[in-house]
Amino acid sequence: MAVIDTTFRDAIHIAIDEEMERNPDVFLIGEDIGRYEGTFKVTKGFWPKYGEKRVVDTPIVEPGFTGIAIGAAMVGLRPIVEMMTMSFSILALDQIINHAAKVHYMTGGQAKVPLVVRGPGGAAKQLSAQHSHSMEGWYAHVPGLKVVAPATVADAYGMLKTAIWDDNPVIFTENPGLYTLKGSIPDDKDFSVPFGKAQVLREGSDVSLIGYSRMTQLNLIAAETLATEGISAEVVDVRSLLPLDTETIYSSVRKTHRAVVVYEDWRSGGFGAEIAARIGEDCFDDLDAPIGRVGGLNVPMPYARVLELEVIPDVDSVVSAVKKLA
């Protein structure tokens, strides 16, 4: 199959463009996504191509435009809501959690909400405390939602297509540190990546490094570092938080007998803690050491770059956590 070399950001752009061309019910709504073309330029060129009825610029009112999108989804459209940052989705928690996630259940299956809420989630560079939240763990706590956090260019493309086609509300989080990541996507407009299926990106025998989003890329670098010291690390990319593929995770842990879970979210109560708990419950007899966890420090994100780098997990923190298990 032919492939197209591109970036993580442009893979998202291409997926949206192809699905808007395919289906006139797909439309975009959010702040500064039209003339300004989005803060991270994901929607570049869409406003002149599709017009203001399908690329809807909104005021700064997340509860309002998220509520409009939910209503539109309930009557058959397929809205894609862009959050300027997923931190701002906090303002729309009532709409997302009390309505989008529950309408199908509370109407006895009569109403569907084919909605995608997407945008940058996690730390960028010096965006400070109110713009750097990792929201995926909050949403993965909610029945009725699907939550995905791709780590590769191909997954950004294929999982976003799956999200747009899905009849359920999907939270699609994009770490801003991945937007310039280079890779390739299949030259196939029907390509998709299923939810609920983790993947092993690097085989190993001594320890399983388990993560999602940008932390998967961090784990791949850490695995190379560990290899120079004679430690063989297997890298498992969770990529779908809800639904969660525990069998791929368990299979890796049962093979290596050691696990380190890496996540950018605050270490206390982040989604990595859920993964670690499930490994502890279901793979206890397979473990030769306690489960390691590497997460963000439990402080508001600093603005000063030197402090910001201390808060976010890095390669050294992953390597150190692995060595503690040896």
Q: What is the pLDDT of residues 278-313, one digit of tens each?
A: 999 999 999 999 999 999 999 999 999 999 999 999
Determine the Cα–Cα distance for residues 243 and 76; give it in Å rounded to an integer. 24
Evaluate whether residue 191 is within a structural domain. Answer: no
One of 19, 31, 37, 62 is an active-site residue; which one? 62
| Confidence band for 113, pLDDT divided at 50, 70 and 90 | very high
Q: Are residues 153 and 30 in the same domain?
A: yes
Number of domain units in the chain: 2
Q: Are residues 24 and 125 in the same domain?
A: yes
Determine the Cα–Cα distance for residues 202 and 9; give it in Å rounded to an integer. 24
> Model's pTM, two decimal places?
0.96
Residue 1 has pLDDT above 90, yes or no: no
Reply yes or no on whether 52 is catalytic.
no
Q: Are residues 204 and 179 in the same domain?
A: no
Strand partners, 4: 185
Evaluate whether residue 205 is within a structural domain. Answer: yes
Structure tokens at 276: 């670690």
Q: What is the CATH number of the domain that holds 63?
A: 3.40.50.970
Q: Are residues 241 and 182 in the same domain?
A: no
Reply yes or no on whether 62 is catalytic.
yes
Distances (CA, A) of 36 to 59, 101, 150: 13, 30, 26
Residue-range definition of the domain harbouring residue 168? 3-186
- Give the list of residues 6+ apart from residue 325 with CB closer than 8 angstroms, or none: 207, 258, 260, 289, 290, 292
Evaluate whether residue 225 is within a structural domain. Answer: yes
Of 125-134, 172-181, 292-301, least confident by mean pLDDT is 125-134
Q: Which pLDDT belongs to residue 267?
A: 94
Q: Which pLDDT belongs to residue 326?
A: 77
Q: What is the CATH number of the domain that holds 210?
A: 3.40.50.920
Placement of tokens 């862009």 in the chain: 82
Determine the Cα–Cα distance for residues 82 and 27; give it in Å rounded to an integer. 11
Q: Are residues 174 and 61 in the same domain?
A: yes
Determine the Cα–Cα distance for residues 246 and 252; give it in Å rounded to an integer. 10
